[in-house]
Amino acid sequence: MLERSSSSYRRRWGRSGALGFVLPAALVAVVFAWLVGLVRVPGLESPVPGVHAQIGGVPAARLEAAKASLNAIAVKGRAPKTGYTRAQFGQAWADTDRNGCDTRNDILGRDLADPTFKEGTRNCLVLSGTLHDPYTGKTIEFRRGERSADVQIDHVVPLSDAWQKGAQQWTAEKRLEFANDPANLRSADGQANQDKGDGDLATWLPPNKAFRCEYAVDVVEVKGEYGLWMTQGEHDKAGELLAACRAE
Instruction: State which amino acid sits at residue 164.
Output: Q
pLDDT of residue 53: 52
Q: How many Cα atoms within 13 Å fall on the side-chain side of residue 24? A: 5
Q: pTM of this prediction?
A: 0.79
If one compares 104 and 42, the residue with the highest pLDDT of the two is 104
Helix axes 232-244, 212-226, angle to 10 degrees: 130
Q: Which H/E stretch holds residue 116?
A: strand 113-117
Q: What percent of the chain has pLDDT over 90?
A: 78
pLDDT tens digits, 181-215: 999 999 999 999 999 999 999 999 999 999 999 99
Distances (CA, A) of 106 to 63, 94, 102, 127, 128: 27, 11, 6, 12, 13
Q: What is the pLDDT of residues 33-51, one digit of tens each?
A: 455 454 445 445 555 545 5
Q: What is the pLDDT of residue 35?
A: 53
Tens of pLDDT along 116-159? Answer: 999 999 999 999 999 999 999 999 999 999 889 999 999 999 99
For residue 189, the SS3 value is: strand
How far apart are the C-alpha atoms of 54 and 45, rounded to whole Å?
A: 14
Write the CB contacts of 227 (distance below 8 Å, at least 6 apart in sequence): 166
**Residue 1 pLDDT grade (very low, low, confident, very high; cuts 50, 70, 90):** very low
